[in-house]
């Protein structure tokens, strides 16, 4: 049993996500930083898809009702057990009555708390992830509140010794300046050549509108090529006939403030998507916070696939070491 003494800013239950329903308009939700999520479960010996708590910006205060192993990964929001600092990216143990709390965020945006066995909430469409926009999954379809009581599941697969930690070279480094790799398209042809260059040269600033649905960036205005529209001359050139939105796709309504669509975003619509964040860098994007600086870097599909393989190799290396 885990009791929520204070909920933090936004603490939700998440797993790998609600996969296989994109075509009916259901986004996957799930952990935003998949690398940190997976390592957290490895450190407590859980099934890879065991549910964890995703903690954003301001951490909760949680009280544990029994002895159990836990791990904390992701951004640096320094954790404390009974007021004493504890390590991240390490297998820890709490006792009955222990309280976990957090200091103010230092770097990154999200921490993942895995508990031995995982968080026990009902499966909804094959996932325990919370999709707060329509109130399904997780704990009653919402972020945690004061007084909530969570129970642990039985998704342990192995015993991991206390103090097991990750090679520091495999731990991501989070800063306030981020290079995010993208593949240009599907509709980048609608931008002027000058605006394509501007998009990639600009150091964008993340606005306060940055959450699980999307990250909005302010910087330069982008210009779309004027063309005859199917719905009349007054149509905005940043609009298209509806198309699908891959996770990480970037739209620029009216050429102002590019929005990177994340795990809770709608699955399609009528804005031109000018680029898509590669899967390996979605984890980076999840650790960007308000007022951080972002530069988008264009890469090829082959580069994107190589980056994905590199992430998997790191996970395999961690798994073999635990």
pTM: 0.94
In this prediction, residues 232-236 reach a mean pLDDT of: 57
Q: Is the pLDDT of residue 233 over 60?
A: no
Sorting pLDDT into bands at 50, 70 and 90, what band is 239? confident
| Angstrom distances, CA of residue 188 to CA of 7, 286, 291, 304 | 41, 24, 26, 18
Question: Using N-to-C axis directions, what is the helix angle for 34-43 and 301-321, rounded to 10°?
Answer: 10
Q: Is the pLDDT of residue 217 over 50?
A: yes
Q: Is the pLDDT of residue 156 over 80?
A: yes
Could you read off the pLDDT of 110-127 as tens digits, one per residue? 999 999 999 999 999 999
CB 89 within 8 A of CB 173: no
**What class is the 177-313 domain?**
mainly beta
Sorting pLDDT into bands at 50, 70 and 90, what band is 230? low
Cα–Cα distance between 302 and 20 in angstroms, integer? 25
Sorting pLDDT into bands at 50, 70 and 90, what band is 238? confident
Domain definitions of the chain by residue range: 2-170, 177-313
Could you read off the pLDDT of 31-70 as tens digits, one per residue? 999 999 999 999 999 999 999 999 999 999 999 999 999 9
Question: Which residues face 181 on adjacent strands?
Answer: 297
In this prediction, residues 234-263 reach a mean pLDDT of: 89
Average pLDDT, the chain: 94
Sorting pLDDT into bands at 50, 70 and 90, what band is 284? very high
């Amino acid at each position: 049993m885990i009791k929520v003494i204070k909920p933090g800013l936004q603490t939700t239950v998440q797993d790998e996500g609600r996969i296989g329903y994109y075509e009916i308009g259901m986004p996957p939700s799930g952990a935003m930083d998949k690398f940190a999520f997976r390592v957290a479960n490895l450190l407590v010996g859980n099934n890879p898809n065991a549910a964890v708590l995703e903690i954003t910006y301001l951490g909760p205060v949680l009280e544990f009702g029994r002895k159990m192993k836990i791990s904390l990964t992701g951004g640096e929001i320094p954790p404390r057990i009974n007021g004493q600092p504890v390590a991240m990216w390490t297998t820890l143990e709490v006792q009955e009555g222990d309280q976990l709390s957090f200091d103010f965020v230092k770097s990154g945006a999200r921490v993942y708390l895995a508990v031995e066995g995982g968080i026990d909430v009902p499966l909804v469409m094959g996932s325990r992830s919370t999709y707060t926009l329509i109130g399904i999954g997780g704990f009653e379809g919402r972020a945690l509140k004061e007084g909530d009581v969570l129970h642990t599941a039985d998704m342990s697969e192995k015993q991991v010794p206390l103090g097991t930690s990750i090679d520091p070279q495999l731990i991501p480094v989070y800063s306030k300046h981020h290079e995010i790799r993208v593949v240009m398209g599907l509709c980048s042809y609608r931008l002027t050549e000058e605006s394509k260059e501007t998009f990639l040269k600009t150091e964008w600033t993340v606005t306060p509108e940055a959450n699980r649905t999307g990250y909005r960036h302010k910087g330069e205005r982008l210009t779309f090529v004027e063309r005859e529209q199917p719905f009349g001359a007054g149509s905005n050139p940043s609009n298209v006939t509806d198309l699908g939105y891959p996770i990480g796709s970037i739209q620029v309504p009216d050429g102002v403030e590019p929005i990177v669509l994340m795990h809770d975003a709608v699955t399609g619509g009528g804005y031109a998507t000018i680029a898509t964040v590669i899967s390996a860098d979605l984890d980076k994007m999840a650790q960007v916070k308000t007022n951080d600086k972002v530069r988008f870097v264009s890469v090829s599909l082959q580069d994107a696939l190589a980056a994905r393989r590199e992430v998997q190799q790191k996970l395999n290396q961690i798994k073999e070491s635990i």
